[in-house]
Amino acid sequence: MRRWHERRRRPRSLRETMVSLLTLTGIGGALALAVLLTLVISPGFAELEERATEGYRGRAQTVLSDFAAISEVAAREQASAVTSDGIAPTVPDQSIVYRRAVGEGGSVQRPLTEETRQVEAALDRLDFERLVDAGRSPRFYLAVGEDVLAVGVADSPRGDIHVAVARRLTGQTLSRLLGRPVALSTGTSASNAGPRRGAQFIDIAVPIDGPDGRPVASARFRVSREVVLLGRRVLLLAAAASILLLVLLLLMLRRALGRFVLVPLDRVQRHMQRVQASGALLPFEDDQGQCEEFGSLGRNFNAMLSQLKDLRERNEIQSFALGRSESAVAVLHNVRNALAPLATILSHGVGQHNGARRDLIDRALAELAGGEVEPERRAKLVAFLSTAFDAEALARTEVRRQLEVGRDAMRQTLEIIGAQQARAHERPARERCNISDIVARNATIARYAHAVSISFTFPAHPAYVVANRVILSQVIGNLFSNAVEAIVATGRDHGAITVDIPPPSEGRLSVRIIDDGEGFEPAQATRLFQPGYSTRTEKSGGLGLHWCANSMAGMGGTLELRSAGRGTGAVAIVTLDADGEGERQVELAA
């Protein structure tokens, strides 16, 4: 979670921002196109499908009406032949002719079979007087068992006889007339005449009306959803083509941005990084010539570098003129750092009291010299005197160790003062130095710089560099002093300083001094080496780091300070030329 928050707080690069914007634009455009095409194309094809469905229903109803009309025409012809003496007209094949006199029962003019009996019984139940109205001959369908009959009714010219002609309607007949498979169904399922849409087909049910106008059967057939499937294909094709076109457009736009914007910006950034890393104000050379704006940016950048180079030369001249006074102040600053442990040691020695009171020791010795002491009392006195003498010996040992530390600090102070005149007008002489020994010696002195507990960790193996031993010792001691002050500024009474000396790389050796002090903001890293600047408002001066940086530059080295922010500690990196001969001797000794 912490890494995620840090990543969110980290500024995003222009490349990441452009890629994100183009990606979001592509996704949004694709979704918008898909929705738009769906809203435009799908309703149109759905309407076409609805019209086609209604057309199929209308065609089926027309076929049913025409099939029943044939029975009606045959019934009229049979009714007209009742009063004539001629031969009755013929009726369509498989037709059943039913006659009934007004007020009497009816009969079928076909051999009586089980089928004709059922038809005759069904026709007997009908009220022909009500069905025939004002000379109009109705036509309807009648369900007899599992069969469906198309019935046409007509009256004789005198109105005394009712004639009905029934024709059997089958699924094969309807399939032939409609040109597609049709299934007939009777009973309760006949009322369910609504179309049912599936994934690829539509089931259409056309009701077949009976004599009372209510459905007695239904004709069911299936049609393919060709229109909707075609609409889906058109929709997918249009969406895919639109998205592909949008993706190609975004890719071309991204490539154009990368070539004409991001690549020149990366070239400028890499050049600025080289200038920052090397310190050399090299002019920016743009041989691409792709964009006038970046060409103008390069010219302005070169003009700025030229001005910075002039300012640097002027600053070097002024620094040389002010070098003597600044060197004197820096020497006093370093002498103060070197003498600081002496003040702590002397204060500690003055305030230290004797571990065992002298009068108690004298009384114990006098009591033992008397001779009249019980054995138990004598053992206690002897143990007391032994403890007192041990404490006295430990105190003397501690005082001796502190005096040795003070002697080293005093020797270093004398070396600083003695070497000042020799290096006032010339570059410091360099020699082969064991920087591990210098680190260990200054770490011992820095422990007594303040009344806090500092834990030092540094490697024991030797590491040789080419530098001025006295000046390098002052630089290391000054960095240790600053690290201790940073730990004290946190308000804690303890802290840790770690020194890391990795193997040399490309003839250079770097020493990393890591502390867990208060640290500083990364933006302040370049200002720390300015004369008079300090991260702590209660501290005056700041010439120590400025002097250290100049001294490292005079020895052909560099000094760099890093920190992730307040409360995260700091890292000081001292880089010098490694001594190859010393390194080979260490390898041979190992």
For 429, which DSSP code?
P
Q: Identify the DSSP state of 187.
A: G
Nearest to 115 by CA among 167, 164, 159: 167
8 Å CB contact between 470 and 535: no
Q: What is the DSSP string of 117-186?
A: HHHHHHHHTS-HHHHSBTTB--EEEEEETTEEEEEEEEE-TTSSEEEEEEEEE-HHHHHHHHTS-EEEEE
Q: What is the mean pLDDT of the chain?
A: 75
- Give the tokens for residue 462: 């030797």
pLDDT for the residue numbered 9: 55
Q: What is the distance of C-alpha 317 from the center of its chain?
A: 52
Q: Is the pLDDT of residue 148 over 70?
A: yes
Q: Is residue 461 within 8 Å of 527, Cβ to Cβ?
A: no
If DSSP codes are grouped into helix, strand and coil, which group holds residue 558? strand
**Residue 277 has what pLDDT?**
67
Report helix, strand or coil for 512: strand
Domains of the chain in sequence order: 39-229 (no CATH), 323-589 (3.30.565.10)
Is the pLDDT higher at 437 or at 211? 437
Task: Please give the single-letter amino acid code of residue 342.
Answer: L
**pLDDT score for 360:** 77
Q: Is the dihedral of CA 122, 125, 131, 137 positive or negative?
A: positive
The pLDDT score that the predictor gives to residue 86 is 46
CA distance 419 to 157: 151
Concatenate the DSSP letters of all residues of 8-53 into one string: HHSPPPHHHHHHHHHHHHHHHHHHHHHHHHHHHHHHHHHHHHHHHH
Phi, psi of 82 (to 5 degrees): -70, -40
Instruction: Report the percent of the chain where pLDDT is more than 90.
Output: 8
- pLDDT of res. 331: 66
**pLDDT: is 368 or 354 the higher one?**
368
Q: Which of 299, 262, 261 is nearest to 283 (CA)?
A: 299
pLDDT tens digits along 558-580: 999 999 888 889 999 999 999 86
Q: Among 146-160, 339-353, 463-477, which is the least confidently predicted range? A: 339-353
pLDDT at 583: 47
Per-residue pLDDT at 145 exceeds 90: no
Q: For residues 166 and 173, is the Cβ–Cβ distance under 8 A?
A: no
Is the pLDDT at 107 greater than 50, yes or no? yes
Question: What confidence category does residue 323 fall into, taking pLDDT thresholds of 50, 70 and 90?
Answer: low
Bridge partners of 139, per DSSP, are 152
Please provide the distance, in angstroms rounded to a whole number, between the alpha carbons at the two ends of the chain: 46
Q: How far apart are CA 274 and CA 510, in angstroms?
A: 20
Paired strand residues for 106: 100
pLDDT tier for residue 541 given thresholds of 50, 70 and 90: very low
pLDDT value for 280: 63
pLDDT class of 590 with cuts at 50, 70, 90: very low
Tell me the average pLDDT across 482-495: 88
What does the pLDDT average to over 269-297? Answer: 67
DSSP 3-state of 366: helix
Predicted pLDDT at 576? 93
Model confidence at 498, pLDDT cuts 50, 70, 90, reads very high
For 220-240, what is each residue's pLDDT tens digit?
888 777 666 666 677 677 777
Per-residue pLDDT, 588:
45
Amino acid letter at 4?
A: W
The first and second tokens of residue 557, run together, are 């080295």
Q: Kindly indicate the confidence band of residue 542, based on its pLDDT and cuts at 50, 70 and 90.
A: very low
pLDDT of residue 268: 75
**CA gap 266, 268 in Å, rounded:** 5
DSSP 262: I
How many whole angstroms from its chain centre is CA 70?
Answer: 76
